[in-house]
Amino acid sequence: MKSKFNVDYFSDSEYEKLTIEISFDGQILCQINQDKGKENLEIEFFHQYYLDKNDYMFKFSLKDFLSIIDKAISELE
């Protein structure tokens, strides 16, 4: 079964270092930045950018979510 999670790595002008954006089912879920070091990563959730604010609910396996975060963090420079 194909995962509904997607991970994008990019350089955002708001941050000094590479950031990670995680989306679920085509919706931006969160962004992780490493400006304070790899031991002090920060995560920001983007609930205000949901495509359909009335009907969309993020519900997924915690294990899958933690797995995608671990995978993304391990690939940071």
pLDDT tens-place string over residues 18-71: 889 999 888 888 999 898 888 899 999 876 665 665 666 678 889 999 999 999
pLDDT tens-place string over residues 59-77: 888 999 999 999 988 887 6
**Per-residue confidence (pLDDT) for residue 53, from 0 to 100:** 57
CA distance 28 to 39: 24
Place of tokens 């955002």: 12
Is there a contact between 15 and 33 (Cβ–Cβ < 8 Å)?
yes
Residue 15 structure tokens? 């941050």
pTM: 0.79
